[in-house]
């Protein structure tokens, strides 16, 4: 029998979900002043400094750290921040990026040559139906470009997950901190090339305490607190116990966006969320019955 989370660890998991879910609204507030790639750069600079002074580099290959840092930094958050700069609403972004689960499974199957199971095909079909509903409402808080960019961010997250698994048992907080060394520099280069020094300077001039609070929230709260505590929970409980808690992230994302940014919640958004969430639930919680062997009952 799968052990249940203790009440203390349940509160911790809900705190992580709250931070991760509300972070999409936080990103949107930060983008009101700063260009997206420069905002992402600051996020990872504050992850690395000053934490790297206190956390020794984990004993993994530099190539593994670089892969994780580039996938999470440039692909996941670089593309997500660009998408959220006018191409997709925070609530929808928090939902679409959950497609990373299917990308993660696909990558794992490709690496292990494991065959896809019927319930996984059905789960993916439900999620694709939800994505189709979102794409059909192009221009209503979302563009096709925004969906494509967030799907790219989800793939970056999945690639980062694969790199993290291949790193083996390490201090996850130290791993995330040192991987940021490979996230911030390329993001800064891209920001300088694509956004330009003038836009960066103008963004810094517009920045208020709210802007800097959003950077701190993403760096300390979302990345360091969220990732480290999530890894700690996964070290204490089976993944099947902890992972379903992440299904609450888009629920919090939609609620926070509606409450703080007044994002509308028409029926098509609710329907899309229901379809994608149903796919995620089916994939995470479905437990096919084992075939009977040697006369065992089904």
The range of the structural domain enclosing residue 203 comes to 7-285
Q: CA Rg, the chain, in Å? A: 19
Domain-embedded: residue 294: no
> What is the per-residue pLDDT for 139?
66
For residue 24, give both structure tokens.
């999409």
Residue 285 has pLDDT above 70, yes or no: no
For the chain, the domain total comes to 1
Residue 80 has pLDDT above 90, yes or no: yes
> What is the per-residue pLDDT for 224?
84
Contact (Cβ atoms closer than 8 angstroms) between residue 91 and residue 257: yes
Domain-embedded: residue 293: no
Domain-embedded: residue 291: no
Q: Record the pTM.
A: 0.83
Residue 268 has pLDDT above 90, yes or no: no
Domain-embedded: residue 297: no
Domain-embedded: residue 280: yes
> What is the per-residue pLDDT for 244?
72
Of 55-59, 124-128, 236-240, 260-264, least confident by mean pLDDT is 236-240
Tell me the average pLDDT across 242-248: 76
Please give the DSSP secondary-structure letter assigned to residue 33: T
Residue 292 has pLDDT above 50, yes or no: no
Confidence of residue 298 (pLDDT cuts 50, 70, 90): very low
> What is the per-residue pLDDT for 202?
96
Domain-embedded: residue 33: yes
For residue 221, give both structure tokens.
């709260």
Q: Helices marked H in the chain — which ranges?
A: 7-30, 36-48, 62-70, 79-83, 90-96, 100-112, 118-136, 144-166, 172-179, 184-190, 196-206, 209-216, 226-236, 239-242, 248-261, 267-285
For residue 18, give both structure tokens.
């709250």
Of 3-12, 115-124, 174-183, 285-294, least confident by mean pLDDT is 285-294
pLDDT (tens digit, 9 = 90+) per residue, 207-237?
Answer: 999 999 999 998 988 888 887 788 778 767 7
CA–CA separation, 247 and 279 (whole Å)? 11
Domain-embedded: residue 227: yes
> What is the per-residue pLDDT for 295?
39
> What is the per-residue pLDDT for 297?
34
Percent of the chain with pLDDT over 70: 89
Residue 2 has pLDDT above 60, yes or no: no
Span between the terminal Cα atoms of the chain, in Å: 17
> What is the per-residue pLDDT for 294?
39
CA–CA separation, 122 and 99 (whole Å)? 14
pLDDT (tens digit, 9 = 90+) per residue, 11-36?
Answer: 998 999 899 889 999 999 999 999 99
Domain-embedded: residue 292: no
């Amino acid at each position: 029998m799968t052990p249940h989370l203790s009440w203390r660890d349940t509160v911790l998991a809900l705190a992580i979900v709250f931070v991760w879910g509300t972070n999409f609204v936080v990103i949107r507030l930060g983008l009101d002043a700063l260009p997206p790639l420069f905002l992402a750069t600051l996020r990872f600079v504050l992850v690395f400094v000053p934490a790297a002074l206190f956390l020794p580099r984990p004993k993994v290959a530099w190539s593994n750290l670089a892969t994780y840092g580039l996938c999470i930094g440039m692909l996941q958050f670089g593309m997500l921040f660009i998408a959220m700069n006018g191409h997709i609403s925070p609530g929808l972004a928090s939902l679409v990026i959950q497609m990373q689960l299917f990308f993660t499974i696909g990558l794992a199957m490709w690496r292990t040559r494991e065959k896809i199971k019927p319930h996984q095909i059905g789960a993916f079909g439900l999620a694709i139906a939800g994505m189709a509903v979102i794409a059909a409402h192009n221009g209503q808080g979302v563009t096709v470009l925004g969906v494509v960019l967030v799907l790219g961010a989800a793939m970056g997250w999945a690639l980062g997950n694969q790199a993290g698994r291949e790193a083996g048992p390490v201090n996850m907080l130290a791993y995330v901190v040192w991987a940021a060394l490979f996230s911030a520099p390329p993001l800064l280069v891209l920001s300088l090339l694509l956004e330009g020094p003038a836009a960066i300077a103008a963004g810094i001039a517009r920045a208020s305490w709210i802007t800097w609070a959003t950077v701190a929230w993403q760096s300390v709260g979302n990345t360091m607190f969220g990732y480290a505590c999530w890894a700690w929970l996964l070290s204490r409980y089976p993944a099947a116990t902890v992972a379903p808690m992440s299904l609450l992230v888009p629920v919090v994302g939609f609620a926070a966006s509606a409450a703080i940014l007044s994002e509308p919640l028409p029926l098509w958004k609710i329907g899309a969320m229901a379809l994608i969430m149903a796919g995620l639930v089916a994939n995470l919680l479905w437990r096919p019955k084992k075939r009977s062997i040697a006369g065992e009952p089904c």
